[in-house]
Amino acid sequence: MKYKDYSPDIWKRIHTTLDKVLKEDSQPVAAFDADGTLWDTDLGETFFHYQIDNKLVPLPANAWEHYESMKAVEPTKAYLWLAQICQNVELKTVHEWAKNAIKASAPLPIFSEQKKLIDLFLSKGVKVYVITASVKWAVEPGAAMLGLQYDDVLGVETIQTNGVISDSQKGIITYKQGKVDALLAHTGGKRPFFASGNTMGDYQLLQSATELSLAVSAASRDDKLFKTESELAQNAQNFGWLSHRFI
């Protein structure tokens, strides 16, 4: 699909703000949500489907429905569970699974304007982070396709011992306020000058930006994300944030 480019006004505000920030800080921070913000798919769910289809980990009957029902009651518990099901597997193996999951559903529908924006930030010395409520390991290969490192991805994960994954939570669950808390813990309290997301799960992240926030959307009216993307777009209008619809 051909996605709409950012308007000249959006690019002007980004360039003007970036130039201003760089006069005061040689390495400002920018933060992006992943799924629905950088690409038009959900890599966390893609990875889980890949695990189910290939019977890679022990799972309950009707694994997808089990996850969905858990998420409806307590999202953070469901997101952590998607990491916990990888317990007793070597991290390097899970990394291979994640790469293969993306290959199996290729091409990854990256929003080219977001890649262009990340390229600009990286060229100017901006430290770019991807902060996702998905399992970190599922998102890392996608971030790498945008020129980022695995360490630039903050996501849900569990503790690893000698390279083997456990079921013990590691760090903060990167959902809603948790996205901000995890980022600030990683940056030593330094807030992003820029933040971008697509749903109300990213609202707090966009609120945390010191200079510029960008709400994006691509969900069609019959998509489960349409309502929450529309709500974030309304907040963008209320707060004077940037807003862009890719389709």
Residue-wise pLDDT for 158-184, tens only, equals: 999 999 999 999 999 999 999 999 999
Residue 199 within a domain: yes
In the chain, the number of structural domains is 1
Residue-wise pLDDT for 53-66, tens only, equals: 999 999 999 999 99
User: Greatest CA span in the chain, whole angstroms?
Assistant: 56
**Residue spans of the chain under pLDDT 50:** none
Query: How many CB atoms sit inside 10 A of residue 239's CB?
Result: 12
pLDDT of residue 1: 80
Buried b (16+ CB within 10 A) or exposed e, 78-93: bbbbbbbbbbebeeee
Domain that holds residue 168: 8-245
Residue 42 within a domain: yes
Residue 2 within a domain: no
Cα(77)–Cα(196) distance, integer angstroms: 24
Determine the Cα angle at 160 with ends 47 and 169, to 5°.
Answer: 75
Residue 1 within a domain: no
pLDDT of residue 178: 98
Please confirm whether the linkage preceding 107 is cis (ω < 30° from 0).
Answer: yes
Cα(18)–Cα(234) distance, integer angstroms: 25
